[in-house]
Structure 1
Amino acid sequence: MAVNFTAYLRVSTDRQGAFGLGIEAQRKAVQRYVASVGGNLIEEHVEVETGRSATRPVLLQAIAQCRRQRAVLLIARLDRLARSVSFISSLMEGGVEFVAVDNPAANKVMLQMLAVFGEYERDQIATRTKAALAAAKSRGVVLGAHGKVLAANHRAAAEHFAESLRQPVERAVATGAATLSEIARCLNDEGHRTREGSAFSAGTTQKIMFRLGLRTAGMALPETRGGPML
């Protein structure tokens, strides 16, 4: 029986995501691997997020899909998944099978060792970055000048995340969910999680509804789609 795969592709910056840098190479590597083993690629998930972040909603959605459809999580390189030993370990213990195309024959011990080196590299990068910022500050460079840009990017990411849940929310309403708690239960049952990786509650569901411009009975519709931050 052919194995079903769910692909997870990640780039670390908005610029890479906007221009497709790195994604196409990962996509081709994944497609070649699936073809070589005669498998089925059922879906592809693309995320723009740093490897050190523990709040990656697209990755959580990919993992949830693997659990629902008994699929294997497929990545081009191990560092595209996470440079964290604890993250890799928890993923293994959670029963989600995954394959790194750059080392498909690796066993659990080898994968954890690779994650150790990846985590070390991440820490070294962080140390060099802090040193460079300190040196810039000593030269009189004003740090944080791009705060407004970062805030705008955060709002855009929240809007994008909410939009990714539009169909699940509408599906929940169509099947009879009439309150925020009922919609939250439907989202959780389908394996969706908040941007922080937690289960949905009535409160977090309301934020999604605000951003989507939707409402349930007794819930006021906002004047704009900005809504509260997720």
Structure 2
Amino acid sequence: MAEGAFVSYCRVSTARQGKSGLGLEAQREAVSRYLNGGQWSLVAEFTEVESGKRNDRPELAKALRACRVYGAKLVIAKLDRLSRDAHFLLGLEKAGVDFVAADMPHANRLTVGIMAMVADEERRMISQRTKAALAAAKKRGVQLGGDRGAKLSRTARQAGRDAQAARATERAADLGPIIRDLEANGITSLNGLAKALTQRMVPTPRGSNTWSAVQVARMIARLRGGS
């Protein structure tokens, strides 16, 4: 039984199909059947007219951004509606978005399983290379080991702060279109924007359901290139 927030993505391969609606109705019906029952909400729907051989699809990019904004799951009618390219499907993990196919509800678990196997193989290879490098260093007379209680270096701490700032900037970029839409509709004050984001059920950077004017101000500052 479906639960939570969802973003629907439908795709047809030709302009003729897009204009006639052929294929889209069947996809929407499949998504509707999957979502039937349960505690769920469809927060956005996106439709693309594009070839499955191409991965640069703007509507899919918008759908993934909406998923990140609302903390939603991407739902599609058929797995091949995303792409026939397995590498692209695995790339969804990099987008930080979970997805489900109505015709194969457990496909997301399969994808994660494949990625886990790839990651495990990579870790194994890294481990082998590390052991080989340590053995070579020891053979050269290099003293191995050190203070296990050593504190993080200033560089490491800065790298952590930079990564945190980068995530915050990416989040602000995802929310940018929503802020611009609200401003275009006359909502320009920080309190007004905070109230509108809360009403739209957009999670805050910390996962709360309620926005404050201060949080909105920080986000806008990042959108405009500030800190």
Using the size of structure 1 for normalisation, the TM-score is 0.49
Using the size of structure 2 for normalisation, the TM-score is 0.49
